[in-house]
Amino acid sequence: MNILGLIPARGGSKSIPHKNIAPLRGQPLLTYTCEAALSSRCLSRTLLSTDDEAIAQVGRESGIDVPFKRPDELARDDTPSLAVAQHAVRWLADNEGWQADILVLLQPTSPLRRAFHIDGALDLLIQAGADTVVSVVEVPHRFSPYSVMQLENGRLENFWKDSLPFDRFRRQNMPTFYARNGPAILATRVPVLDEYQSFYGPHVIPYVMSAQESVDIDEPFDLQLAEWLLSRGGS
């Protein structure tokens, strides 16, 4: 079974200039994902898809294959990750005759995701016979849809207005919700990409990660948080 790790890292970023290679504890952010992928026991190979030569160079220096430059039409702000993944899979098949069976999308903005997380998610996918495994984090009870509020005509009102069979102000009664944590890991069987035009097939299962492991770099504060967590030995 050929399992492809794909790191999508375009050059543009508005929140943090050149975010994917922003410095984090003395090395580019991208390097953490490269190291995790290279240490995985499950990935057959990993490649970097980028339109940016500086990012490509960091990938090469980290030991990751950069066999092509991503086309400009796949490097816009609104380019969906699905199109980037489909391009990489087709490029390998057309140019190298290498057909991926499973694709693992590894966003470079998850520096606390480790190799054992990747392997754990893939073990789940294979053992369960699922179409897709996505990494998630438990939603804090204060962000539950039963807890959040919204402004209506200048007044705070409950977002969830229907009656509930439990006390919404008692944490112990709240059902557990999960949210994608980036996602840090998104593993899917390759036929799903074209058949459903999505990373998600009918059978999706979660790979649960802790809040600390789920830090996703979007704003400068996220870099500071990741720096602090890494200084304390990671997650």
Q: What is the mean pLDDT of residues 5-23?
A: 91
pLDDT for residue 234 is more than 70: no
List helix spans (H) across the chain.
29-39, 53-61, 81-96, 115-128, 190-195, 220-231
Q: Each residue of 85-103: pLDDT tens digit?
A: 999 999 999 999 999 999 9
pLDDT in tens, 137-162: 999 998 999 999 999 999 999 999 99
Average pLDDT over residues 184-202: 98
Domains assigned to the chain:
3-137+178-231 (3.90.550.10), 140-175 (no CATH)
pLDDT in tens, 36-58: 999 999 999 999 999 999 999 99
> What would the mean pLDDT of 60-83 be, rounded to a whole number?
94
What's the CA gap between 233 and 227, in Å, rounded? 10
Q: What is the pTM of this model?
A: 0.93
Which amino acid belongs to residue 74?
Answer: L
pLDDT for position 174: 85
Section 6-24 average pLDDT: 91
Average of per-residue pLDDT values in the chain: 95
CB count, 10 Å around CB of 161?
7
Q: What's the pLDDT tens digit per position in 118-132? A: 999 999 999 999 999
Q: What is the pLDDT of residue 41?
A: 98
In angstroms, the CA 171 to CA 150 distance is: 20
pLDDT beyond 70 at 235: no
CB 108 within 8 A of CB 165: no
Q: Mean pLDDT check: name the lowest of 103-117, 144-158, 159-173, 218-232.
A: 159-173
Q: How far apart are CA 140 and CA 138, in angstroms?
A: 6
